[in-house]
Amino acid sequence: MIKGITDQRAAILGAIRRGLKRDALPADQAMMLRTRLAAHPRQIVPAVVARDRAALLDLFIANATREFTTIDRVDHLAALPEAITLYLRGQNLPLALVIAPDPSLQAIDWAASPLLTTRFGRAEASDMVSVQAGFAGIAETGTLMLPSGAGTPTTLNLLPDTEIVVLDTANVVGPYEDGFDRLRAAGDLPRNVMLVTGPSRSADIERTLELGAHGPRRLHLILVGPTESK
């Protein structure tokens, strides 16, 4: 009986694979596919990202700002609690944070800013402000690369009304290809990678721009590192 069920299952799955044309590839095609996956060939990279570090950071900031991302800069992570407190107070937002359990953020002395209430972990529907660790910034479009993982829950990018992303300036790259090269070099690819360009917004209804349509209505980026641009 069990063998019969197994045979039926194999036949059904086989029929589905044939219908989707997902049978085993011919040897030459399989080799070409493996070679392509291993080589990661690039498409044409925009000339606008061919610039030095300082100019690349300027481009990233300009593109991110144009997409409604607000940006602050600090020299080191120890200054993060004060910078976040000042931002939240300036926006009249609650001083309660849910923070990504990323080692770099967990090592910060959050008690240095006693006005803040902090919790590490996934975001819940009731959380208003999240703090996420950014993996890379794409200067080409001002986009943040936010891979999922145990230390970077995706819920922090979606549920809170305000998302704060912390990004080291050394992790700003030019084109998307450089960002994905870094992701591959970091180890096994994550289950999910979010590419976030500004806060969530939509103008589908009567061409009226509405922030927070599908996620955070505010995206605040804090760049950490020496000031390279004016």
Domains and CATH numbers, the chain: 2-39 (no CATH), 47-224 (3.40.50.10420)
Check residue 208 and give its pLDDT. Answer: 53
Q: Nearest-CA neighbor of 156 among 109, 119, 106, 186?
A: 119
Check residue 213 and give its pLDDT. Answer: 58
Distance CA 129, CA 218 (A): 9
197: which residues sit within 8 A by CB, 6+ positions away?
Answer: 64, 67, 69, 141, 142, 143, 144
Check residue 215 and give its pLDDT. Answer: 67
Q: Nearest-CA neighbor of 165 among 122, 109, 223, 112?
A: 223
Check residue 188 and give its pLDDT. Answer: 86
Check residue 1 and give its pLDDT. Answer: 45
Q: Which residues of the chain have pLDDT under 50?
A: 1, 203, 212, 229-230
